[in-house]
Structure 1
């Protein structure tokens, strides 16, 4: 029997999840399908209640449904509960809805792949932004053993609220302090949409950043954001956002289709082609 999964969002056309999962279905010769489902927020609860009736064994969840999807699930893993949102859902053998959040896994696994031993001696990291992505990244960094994290957001109160969730290892700094505080950082992460195609640029002077520091950006359109271009010119190791997108998809695919897929250069090239990048 063909197993089917989908990505749920409003809107959903921008999602690259079908490109990734359909590639793997073809790669591993699996009798499966992966669709897009545009679901209005008011209709999400009913859609999830009828997920099996729609023919799905599970789903990815994108904006604006991640928090509501967590609330609709009967069970959730530690990551989803800590992050406060779900991006991966599945039905168990009794039809109960389970939720996970694989964004932290995707981010850290991408760091592991692109900057091996990144967390040996990082000491201090800086995260820019305080949205859902930042929440997942903070969870992942703390789980990976990063001892201290500076958090800067344009709206400081939002960063302070996030820091209260994760505890004293998170130190909130003013947005205007971010450049001056880089001198002690071994890892700089942009978790905002600044620098994305169509968005304002991320304005930050990284001249104080140590040459040994790693710079990561969750933006993947463009693949090399102005932040990463500048960091690479200085000789810093850089990690783009596409790998996070690819790696976060792995646990869901395994859950729905029974095969743990691999993130390969061929998959990356396939997805890059759909982004219009060269």
Structure 2
């Protein structure tokens, strides 16, 4: 690969028009003056393998080189059977959110959601203080998997997965191991008394979705509350938590931080997450 060739990466999903990733990566490409482009590709699960293969030749026809892609809903699990190699991060979490083309032309699947979550927490609090503590995770989807693994790596000794589908909660707890357990959805409020960190990984509370119904009365004042929703940026859960004195962390930080590793792998520059980037991406939210 010639260093003079334009490097192309992007994001795939179905749908994909809502994605903030092109705005985010485009900011970094301009900031660091790179000969690169980040695109958005609408791709259905059954089209993923064909699209990844086609992009190598399509980019070459442009005189450019395909470097890889982010994956969002509903492609993160489909990618397991499509990529050539799975990074340990993807294997452990059970999902792929970043694909990188290696020097031999093979596709490696990675997952950067967990480190993105941890780095966003670290901006607001001392994450080492969570070791030995209890987490309550609402939801059992792909993001929940990454966050549960990240919390286990931080040393939490009790990770409670609370989901509307009990079977999915039990499956995720089994995947994480001995430190995790499933709990019924109707116990979500009473379980807060034990929690040192509460993480909403559901779509409840997102714009256009039903509200998240949960009583925060039993939540310790020292507990951290995180909501991976970022539309709206300040969900009702975060507003209520902040009013009673809890540290409240929105979902935008995770989005920004999970993007760093992919950008570096594709374009060879380690990017910085700073206030200017956050403002730039927030402007995109306001305009959507």
Fold shared by both chains (TM-score > 0.5): yes
The answer to whether the 8 A contact 2:189-2:218 is kept is yes
When structure 1 is superposed on structure 2, of 125-134 and 37-46 the one drifting more is 37-46
Aligned alpha-carbon RMSD (Å): 1.3
The answer to whether the 8 A contact 1:206-1:231 is kept is yes
Q: In the aligned structure 1, how far is the partner of 2:41 from the partner of 2:79?
A: 14
Q: In the aligned structure 1, how far is the partner of 2:112 from the partner of 2:236?
A: 27
- Hey, what does 2:28 align to over in structure 1? 24
In the alignment, structure 1 residue 148 sits paired with structure 2 residue 152? no
Q: In the aligned structure 2, how far is the partner of 1:42 from the partner of 1:169?
A: 35
Deviation digits for residues 170-211 of structure 1, max 9, x if unmatched?
A: 121111111111112110110000000000000000110000
Size of the aligned set, in residue pairs, is: 277
In the alignment, structure 1 residue 192 sits paired with structure 2 residue 196? no
- Hey, what does 1:158 align to over in structure 2? 168
Residue 118 (structure 1) shift: 5.7
In the alignment, structure 1 residue 209 sits paired with structure 2 residue 219? yes
> Where do 4+ consecutive residues of structure 1 move more than 2 Å?
116-122
Structure 1, unpaired ranges of 5+: none
2:260 maps to which of 235, 243, 250: 250
SS of residue matched to 2:58: coil
- Hey, what does 1:8 align to over in structure 2? 12
When structure 1 is superposed on structure 2, of 162-171 and 42-51 the one drifting more is 42-51
- Hey, what does 1:240 align to over in structure 2? 250
Deviation digits for residues 20-39 of structure 1, max 9, x if unmatched?
A: 10000011111110111112
When structure 1 is superposed on structure 2, of 75-84 and 241-250 the one drifting more is 75-84
1:113 maps to which of 111, 115, 123: 123
Structure 2, unpaired ranges of 5+: 60-65
